[in-house]
Amino acid sequence: HQHIDHLGLVEIIASRSGAGVAAIDVVVPFIENFGDDVELDDQFAASLMLRHGIPEDVVTALRSVSRSFRAWGDRAEVTRPLHDGEELRLRNRALEVQHRPGHSPSDTLFWDAERRILLCADHLIAHISSNPLISRPLDGSDERPRALMTYLESLRRTRELPAEIVLPGHGEPVVDHRALIDERFTLHRRRAEKIFDLIDERPRTAYEIAQELWGNVAVTQAFLTLSEVLGHVDLLADEGRVREAPDGDVVRFEAVG
């Protein structure tokens, strides 16, 4: 997927090895226009953070950090675009390509049905819940993606697979993915209820909610915690329990009824 710790070295590996580059179709423009698209991502994130109450000095600092990250990646030519559901053959192994957006818009799983092995990158990690990051829409639309809702639907699809072992991009293999997915469902439900209780007390910005939940981490990891809050607010809004309450240049959320 499109995060720097997963595609940052793709150009170096491809140029030094002579290997082709395969990637899910939705992320091909991002890889081939890496620098420009990362700048668009930063602009999108900055606007979103300001709109949801994060102070301008925090936003400026985070943009500076993000710019430094760009040195870890470079644009590359994708020689084989992949499509959801297609089969990828590697010598004596066949892998089904499965698009599972949520943690990012381009999360891609590779399913070895014969061996019941699932390669899942950051889609499901044993020791920590995958953060459904709010990302700039890859299709160019202006609507903010509802990342957590998308992620939960992707987890439901993954839960149906008869996998015996799941190999994530970080940490230990997962041997009971259904139990772990059920834990994630419970975690997100509990977090949504905790956020509702805060909103029910009084209207709050997403940044204020993040500070209540995570303290100073809401400053040092402002975009991560903002994504968490907005994802759960989306769940509550979809249930008709909260709504936006514009307050000048920022948005607060209030309980319905």
User: Which 8-state DSSP code applies to residue 117?
Assistant: E
Give residue 159's Cα distance to chain centre.
18
Does residue 225 register a pLDDT over 80?
yes
Of 1.10.10.10, 3.40.50.150, 1.20.1530.20, 3.20.20.70, which CATH number belongs to 191-255? 1.10.10.10
* Contact between 76 and 32 (Cβ < 8 Å): yes
The Cβ of residue 74 has, within 10 Å, a number of other Cβ atoms equal to 16
Domain layout of the chain by residue ranges: 191-255
Does residue 71 register a pLDDT over 90?
no
Identify the residue whose tokens are 């900055």.
Answer: 46
* Contact between 110 and 98 (Cβ < 8 Å): yes
Q: How confident is the model at residue 68 (pLDDT cuts 50, 70, 90)?
A: confident
Q: How confident is the model at residue 130 (pLDDT cuts 50, 70, 90)?
A: very high
The Cβ of residue 136 has, within 10 Å, a number of other Cβ atoms equal to 21
CA angle at 216 for the pair 210 and 217, rounded to the nearest 5°: 65
Residue type present at position 150: T
Q: How confident is the model at residue 174 (pLDDT cuts 50, 70, 90)?
A: very high
Q: What pLDDT, on the 0 to 100 scale, is given for residue 137?
A: 85
User: In whole angstroms, what is the distance from residue 251 CA to residue 239 CA?
Assistant: 19
Q: What pLDDT, on the 0 to 100 scale, is given for residue 93?
A: 95
| 181: CB partners within 8 A, 6+ apart | 124, 155, 158, 159
Low-confidence winner among 10-19, 38-47, 136-145, 226-235 (lowest mean pLDDT)? 136-145
> Token digits for 246?
């514009």
**pLDDT tens for residues 97-115?**
999 999 999 999 999 999 9
Q: What pLDDT, on the 0 to 100 scale, is given for residue 14?
A: 96
Give residue 86's Cα distance to chain centre.
23
Between residues 201 and 64, the one the model is more confident about = 201
* Contact between 219 and 213 (Cβ < 8 Å): no
| 254: CB partners within 8 A, 6+ apart | 199, 203, 242, 243, 245
| 141: CB partners within 8 A, 6+ apart | none
